[in-house]
Amino acid sequence: MRMRIVLAIGFFAAAARADFREFTQLPVDPSIDLALRRTADATLKAFPKLTAENLALTVIDVTKPDVMSRADYHGDAPFYPASVIKLFFMAEVYHQHRENDPDVPRALKEMIVVSDNDAAAFLLETISDTCSGPELQGRALRKFIDKRRVVNRYFNPMGYDISAMAKPWSFGPFGRETQIYPATPELRNRATTNSIASLILWIVRRRAVSASASDAMMALMERPLNPPRKDENQVTGYIGEALPAG
């Protein structure tokens, strides 16, 4: 058996456009809301150094597709999304129909399946028509930053409060990448659990970019319940371990 969906957000049975505003219109389920708050309270009690301001959860129940419901705990609070931002890079690749460009299929697989930062950097350069290098000044810097807004320009009009402009780094940025962050903190990558859950929901519902694009993204996000190598296990110890297969 295989299980589809992963991510560090609460998600039951998984999350024409992936419109965030439509996500916000889903009814809040009081029972899920109560369960989330109890889970948050238990988590904060178990980890005393964790504060409520640094904990966010979003759950969407899609077990009844015609009457989907949701709940969240600080779901609209912005935070640094680390590698989860790669989901938005992936969606933009398909939005631009670049999924079959040279090296892009391999990069997509490595970025999503093993969360490789080099692959993510390559794809961000591909979709934004930019490249790393020495620091820039004046018009050249403004043009570089404007091009890096390409993912934001797709998602922000659909109601997503995200920023996906910076490459994920293992040990920190260099050159002009530092001029996005840390030199300009407001340009740092950010997202909310609600925005991430919304994108996943529309991928699952085959409405992110297109039905075929959603299917391709789902295939990349699929995770085996029993991987052949233990060091490749991305289920055990994660939220996905508690979810049913499928």
175 lies in the same domain as 227: no
Q: For residue 73, report the phi and psi dihedrals to the nearest 5 degrees.
A: -125, 110
Q: How many domains, in total, are found in the chain?
A: 2
133 lies in the same domain as 62: no
157 DSSP assignment: G
Q: Is residue 165 over pLDDT 90?
A: yes
Please compute the mean of the pLDDT values over residues 3-23 and round it to a whole number: 55
106 lies in the same domain as 153: yes
Please report the pLDDT score of residue 10 as a whole number: 40
101 lies in the same domain as 121: yes
Residue 69 lies in domain: 2-77+192-242
87 lies in the same domain as 73: no
Please report the pLDDT score of residue 2 as a whole number: 38
Task: Show the tokens assigned to 148.
Answer: 């890096």
19 lies in the same domain as 72: yes
**Residue of 36 and 223 predicted with greater confidence:** 36
CA 56 – CA 58 distance, rounded (Å): 7
Last residue of a domain, one of 163, 187, 211: 187
Please report the pLDDT score of residue 15 as a whole number: 37
87 lies in the same domain as 161: yes
Q: Is residue 170 over pLDDT 50?
A: yes
Q: Is residue 243 over pLDDT 80?
A: no
Angle between helices 86-95 and 193-204 (to 10 degrees): 40
Last residue of a domain, one of 168, 187, 206: 187
43-102 pLDDT, tens per residue? 999 999 999 999 999 999 998 878 899 999 999 999 999 999 999 999 999 999 999 999
Confidence of residue 4 (pLDDT cuts 50, 70, 90): very low
Please compute the mean of the pLDDT values over residues 181-195 and round it to a whole number: 94
Please report the pLDDT score of residue 61 as a whole number: 94
Confidence of residue 9 (pLDDT cuts 50, 70, 90): very low
Confidence of residue 183 (pLDDT cuts 50, 70, 90): confident
168 lies in the same domain as 229: no
Last residue of a domain, one of 141, 164, 187: 187
183 lies in the same domain as 205: no
140 lies in the same domain as 160: yes
3-state secondary structure of 175: helix
